[in-house]
Structure 1
């Protein structure tokens, strides 16, 4: 492999000013767009020795045939130009947004003569004020129904309004009390505009002065015995309180902020946005991001905020999990989008904002899991993934049955392993298996032991072809039984653990694969393909291969292999933790005066019986609820 690419610019050609650069392939297609405060310093990272580059960055550099750059006057201009080019060229190696949801908004058409409130997914109505997004259409409608009781503004369509104003007859919604605009004949255009302003002010900040004013008016009307007016104010008050109750209080009053929770792995990221106005959550939105080149959380925040505020007005404060390197420039760009006052990017360190960030991150994590699950359940995507795996690994047949193995331990103790099974690209949890490993020197030895034990259940002639032939023979025998007029005979069923996989996957790189290959060779089982997936660069290793197989980032094949690897890891970790807990609990229950709560404290502190046995009396006494006498009893029991 060459030390670097042939199109590397000569020394001194790249300027040191801020700018934006584009990598292109031989056909002129833009592959990647990036920005830099110093173009020479940034681009020199791409032209470092190829062996030192991250695998995904190296693949992008090798796919390109040239690089171009444009110098700009300021860092803010580079930020704007980068985003413009990404939108224009749609580079395959830049972050891809996969927001397949169109959220409903509540819109107030302030640009109209008589503004109306409506539900819409169109976010480009000229002069409109938007509230939301809302998770469901019915949530917007419920809020509008409550709001027009307190602020009766127009709800009818433009055609109904025009006809009513021309004929002098109220619009139909106005006749049934559902429209409070001038077309209802109850208010003038000026009076209606004042009600609309109150409507917008309340929705923008949940202004409690309206609640206070409605309470005062209700009491005053009751005192002068105007019970009809008092009932009207009472209904308004109940409507306002109902709207406030629907939006949870999360921060202090008058706090306007957007909060972004992000959860990401090697291939994708999930974003959860909470829109907080007046201390209450007024809207939320979630979407997913596909990552081609490995980027950290700060770089993700940079890209996500540019996407989120492309057509939105940002609030004064934006809370993110990590600050990007160009925070000052991003704040300046957001301030320009806002048009009034500054925008501050902050991270949540403690208190109510940190608690809300934790909730947003948890939602993002669940959304990422749901995204992967839905993607895995797509039949077309699964079929494509199996075909791509077959071609990439050089298999004779598609891997209709895949088994993946992972090893888990705690500092060499409680060693366990997991086996998970995917058939036709879907998890078969009824066929999962767990292994306990009594003694092992390292992970490769553990993999060797587990694969050896698993293959012992297979006969030497039970290749996938043999299994298919056996199934065909059983079907023919059953057909012959029916042809002879006899009753049906239940064929003998093989145990699930005795079916061989088409593809056996281990979690790890070349050492783990070689250990599994040694076990496979010693077993004598034929017809099983073997591969390993290394987590750092997500490359696929095959036995006796000096170079890994690189599956395209974002491909269905890599996604499926990652999913089965992650499932094996989850299953192993769960078993290891339960073993550890059961181990320490069973031993310590023999100690007089040691109840479940103290056992939990010991487990939380030491992690395993092996670590507890190594501890001296002073270390055991430091655990909450454990005194010197009880510590002595624990130590005596463990060393009995």
Structure 2
């Protein structure tokens, strides 16, 4: 490991101009390329205290052996030079926001005497028109099969074309009228080129004019009593409209735009892009790639735009007039100039705020999120991957055996109120939802403070209390906390003799400890959990904490965290377990808060118990909607009679607008008058 101070430039030698810099290793290989508005300010940040640097940055500067820079005139030049160097050197520490997947396109060779159409992957060639990209090659073939009925352009290779010309007979497509058969001179070169140009015009969005022209020809053929030609044109028009239906209209003004969305976490980002041409979605694609450390969403967008539109392979779809992104990068003005240079005309780079474009951006974002979910589920469902993750955890934490059972706890609250905790269980790398538990925190609820460390200690104590020798605390067993139905929390309050089910003789679900106990947090949370286990005498459980900011793994007694590689399967598994615990805690917290708010609005109403309160809120969806209902609508709720409905209606409206207080004598008279009536009939609660 190199010492960055050995190659740090002398003070004052780094210019303050914009430029691009390269870090090289001991073998002179470029390992990182970056750009900066101020080279001195940016490069100086790399030579700060190593302990303050991000783990990936720390690894880069300790791997490097030298640094060099190039000064440029403008930030746009720096942008272009950075891209050229990344493309040339492919540095290992530069994050690539695209994978090596190539998407097929539909190519039309307008540079040939007899143009042909075919599926193509690769760089753009002059004289060839490209359409797409398409998600699958079969989508292109389906489109070609549908359109060659109307535009019979040849699809054969040049070798097949010459062979059929020598034989003097067309191929099968020529016999079934899906090719104009220029090889046997059914049409000359000019006529075939006109067919190919109509084909390109249709794919380019000029659909209305083509359909109107065919409708005119159909009407003329019908007027000339050429009904066979009119029927064929009618079928052609139907085929074109079916092809148009496959391309959804998303923007009514014929907009040409690329709509980009990014959804990710600390490790991976899912990128989705829709290509809209002529107001229709002409193609879409997506990637799931490693995310850059400490990068904001705007930084990720800027890096993606530079790589995507700078690659000649991706330029097959061209730079559109508009590029819609989820967030503008800091250097968006320079990126706009660069994109305009690539296109040859003005390009608008912006974030859609409202209307159809905003709705389309939300659709693209949903697609990106679903792609990330599918990617993670596919990764988590692979047996080999799960085994590798457990083995990596064992080696990284120095455990005697792989952690086949992992438990994780997380705390959820809002400014110290409604403090709850969740415990999730993973066995063999998969969630065991029947063992999930909810905990209502008692100590934090008493003083209204938010103390995550104390809450984690309480949950850990309740979870592992059964492993004490007597199975009880000094003040006796703790009562059970709120659970989730069938899998209710017993707080871990089982004595050792109750660890076996008397009916089956098998261990109960929580009769044995986990191999690995994970807490959501850093060093203080880990020490709190470890102290509780020491107090209870539990020595066969490994405790770690996962700090969310940098995904650091903290071990009790260590001053420095364990840094797992960002592409580590072990880190992916820990992150998934932590996120599942967070999701489970948030769900319980929301339900508890909702019940508390509901109870505060409907509590104290005569004749309204917990069951009826729940029925009312479930039926109307909220207390606000319940207040808008009249007596008859409230009485429609099962279990709510007319009298109770009237009482609820009066109580809710009395709460909103309190009536003026009546004199004491009047209130006494009212009570005497209503004494003989049925309880709670037409009486406003006091």
- Fold shared, TM-score > 0.5 on shorter chain: yes
Q: Which residue of 2 aligns with 1:216?
A: 216
Q: 2:468, 2:536 within 8 Å by CA — same for their partners in 1?
A: no
Matched, 1:414 2:418: yes
Which segment drifts farther, 20-29 or 118-127? 118-127
User: C-alpha distance in 2, partners of 1:192/1:531?
Assistant: 71
CA drift of 1:246 comes to 0.9
Q: Which residue of 2 aligns with 1:500?
A: 513
Matched, 1:448 2:464: no
Q: 1:269, 1:291 within 8 Å by CA — same for their partners in 2?
A: yes
Q: 2:4, 2:65 within 8 Å by CA — same for their partners in 1?
A: no
Matched, 1:580 2:593: yes
Q: Which residue of 2 aligns with 1:518?
A: 531
CA drift of 1:206 comes to 4.5
Match of 2:575 among 562, 566, 577: 562
Match of 1:326 among 305, 325, 331: 331
Q: 1:171, 1:183 within 8 Å by CA — same for their partners in 2?
A: no
Matched, 1:629 2:654: yes
Q: Secondary structure at the match of 2:149?
A: helix
Q: 2:168, 2:184 within 8 Å by CA — same for their partners in 1?
A: no
User: C-alpha distance in 1, partners of 2:81/2:3?
Assistant: 32
Matched ranges for 1:104-119 at <5 A: 104-119=104-119
Q: Which residue of 1 aligns with 2:391?
A: 387
Q: 1:18, 1:71 within 8 Å by CA — same for their partners in 2?
A: yes
User: C-alpha distance in 2, partners of 1:98/1:201?
Assistant: 31
Matched, 1:282 2:311: no
Q: 1:25, 1:64 within 8 Å by CA — same for their partners in 2?
A: yes
CA drift of 1:277 comes to 0.6
Q: 1:408, 1:417 within 8 Å by CA — same for their partners in 2?
A: yes
Which segment drifts farther, 533-542 or 137-146? 137-146
Normalised to the residue count of structure 1, the TM-score between the two structures is 0.84
Q: Secondary structure at the match of 2:293?
A: coil
User: C-alpha distance in 2, partners of 1:179/1:626?
Assistant: 79
CA drift of 1:519 comes to 1.6
CA drift of 1:186 comes to 2.7
User: C-alpha distance in 2, partners of 1:603/1:144?
Assistant: 54
User: C-alpha distance in 1, partners of 2:545/2:68?
Assistant: 38
1:423–1:52: structure 2 CA closer, same or farther, 3 Å change rule? same
Q: Which residue of 2 aligns with 1:486?
A: none
CA drift of 1:203 comes to 0.7
User: C-alpha distance in 2, partners of 1:193/1:444?
Assistant: 75
Aligned Cα RMSD in Å?
A: 3.2
CA drift of 1:320 comes to 1.0
Q: 2:22, 2:69 within 8 Å by CA — same for their partners in 1?
A: yes
Q: Which residue of 2 aligns with 1:608?
A: none
Q: Secondary structure at the match of 2:204?
A: helix
Q: Which runs of 5+ in 2 are unaligned?
A: 472-502, 628-649, 660-679
CA drift of 1:585 comes to 4.1
Q: Secondary structure at the match of 1:494?
A: coil
Q: 2:405, 2:427 within 8 Å by CA — same for their partners in 1?
A: yes
User: C-alpha distance in 2, partners of 1:184/1:570?
Assistant: 68
User: C-alpha distance in 2, partners of 1:447/1:25?
Assistant: 45
Q: 1:291, 1:554 within 8 Å by CA — same for their partners in 2?
A: no
Q: 1:104, 1:121 within 8 Å by CA — same for their partners in 2?
A: yes
Q: Which residue of 1 aligns with 2:406?
A: 402
CA drift of 1:518 comes to 1.8
User: C-alpha distance in 2, partners of 1:158/1:455?
Assistant: 76
CA drift of 1:11 comes to 1.8
CA drift of 1:242 comes to 1.1
Matched ranges for 1:198-277 at <5 A: 198-277=198-277
| Rg larger for | 2
CA drift of 1:71 comes to 2.3
Q: Secondary structure at the match of 2:276?
A: strand
Q: 2:530, 2:543 within 8 Å by CA — same for their partners in 1?
A: yes
CA drift of 1:271 comes to 0.5
Q: Secondary structure at the match of 1:149?
A: coil
1:194-230 deviation per Cα after TM superposition (whole angstroms, max 9, x unaligned): 1111111221225321122222332333334332222
Q: 1:461, 1:526 within 8 Å by CA — same for their partners in 2?
A: no
Q: Which runs of 5+ in 1 are unaligned?
A: 463-489, 606-624
Q: 1:32, 1:93 within 8 Å by CA — same for their partners in 2?
A: yes
Matched ranges for 1:38-57 at <5 A: 38-57=38-57
Which segment drifts farther, 210-219 or 579-588? 579-588
1:41-61 deviation per Cα after TM superposition (whole angstroms, max 9, x unaligned): 322332344455445434433
Q: 1:93, 1:292 within 8 Å by CA — same for their partners in 2?
A: no
1:249-283 deviation per Cα after TM superposition (whole angstroms, max 9, x unaligned): 11123211111111122221111000001101110
1:29–1:392: structure 2 CA closer, same or farther, 3 Å change rule? farther
Q: Secondary structure at the match of 1:385?
A: helix
CA drift of 1:240 comes to 1.6
Normalised to the residue count of structure 2, the TM-score between the two structures is 0.79
Q: Secondary structure at the match of 1:69?
A: strand
1:392–1:595: structure 2 CA closer, same or farther, 3 Å change rule? closer
